[in-house]
Amino acid sequence: MEPRFILTGAAGTAIFRQTHESMTLTTLANYFALLAYPEIDPVAVSLGPLAIRWYGLAYVAGILLGWWVARRMIARPELWPGNSIAITDRHLDDFLVWAAVGIVLGGRIGYVLFYDLDPVLANPLLALQVWNGGMSFHGGLTGATLAMLLFARKHALPTWPLFDIVASVAPIGLFFGRIANFINGELWGRPTDVAWAMVFPGGGPFSRHPSQLYEAALEGIVLFAVVQLAGRRGGLLKAPGTVSGIFICGYALARIFVEFFREPDAQLGYLAGNWLTMGMVLSTPMFALGLWAILRAQRAVKTI
């Protein structure tokens, strides 16, 4: 048995305090991460110089699966006002390209305007380097909305039912997008000591909230269940605009909640205090807009 030495008095107290503080810092920095971060290669498939990333596949999966669910929804005329809907399978097929362009352009422009404007003003070519930048949901939503308005006008389609269709399937894309964020090891959470904390590459030595998974669960799975139940079981597709409003309000609430756990973008930091973030600022008017859409839809139904 190894001999043990016990120091008493001031010397022993000093050594204990120093050892305790050292162990505490080490624990905070390295050992709170009880779950290992699964370091998945962001590149899903490499074909020579061509690299197909999970992030791109997430966009494709979200749009295609959303399109499939949307086709099944319009195949049930009893869900819609007057037990009929003017939007056809052909319309949804054509809208795929419009939606993709609106989401990608809007998402990229929104990110530049809201999160990274100064570097782009100094070097405008950075706006084209999507592999070195990011995408903004609020910008993507704006781009998709413009695409829907233009598409509905071109094909003489009712606008609010088209909004409701897209809102009913949008959480699918949000889910895949947040999973891609997790795979890329980006948009991580704030430092924490919860049992499921992880140390992310590029996020320093501290264990952090896997906030991407929080968003995937709330903005994706939970919100999808809510809008689908509202439309299919609650009969709210018969009041055009209601499901759109529920989606917007639901996203805003989920985003604001998760922002308390998510690390703000490094170039912006906190906008006020040690809690207010750009995501909260952008989501607050969204909630008001969603409430307006719901109230407008309900008033329209009562006047019929």
Q: What is the pLDDT of residue 32?
A: 47
Q: What pLDDT is attached to residue 225?
A: 98
Residue 248 domain-assigned? yes
The predicted pLDDT at position 21 comes to: 47
User: Which residues in the chain land under pLDDT 50?
Assistant: 1-8, 10-16, 18-30, 32-33
pLDDT at position 16 is 39
Asked whether residue 33 is domain-assigned, the answer is no
Structural domain includes residue 267: yes
Range(s) of the domain holding residue 101:
39-302
In a domain? residue 170: yes
pLDDT score of 123: 85
In a domain, 154, yes or no: yes
Number of compact structural domains in the chain: 1
Q: How many residues does the chain have?
A: 304
Extract the tokens encoding 103: 């989401």
Sign of torsion, CA 39 43 47 51?
Answer: negative
Please give the distance of CA 244 from its chain centroid, rounded to a whole number: 17
Note the pTM of the prediction, 2 decimals. Answer: 0.85
Are 262 and 277 contacting, i.e. CB atoms less than 8 angstroms apart? yes
- CA atoms in the 13 A half-sphere facing the CB of 269: 3
Residue at 24 is within a domain: no
Angle at CA of residue 218, ends 245 and 232, nearest 5°? 50
Q: Kindly state whether residue 19 falls inside one of the protein's structural domains.
A: no
pLDDT on residue 130: 66
Whether 102 maps to a domain, the answer reads yes
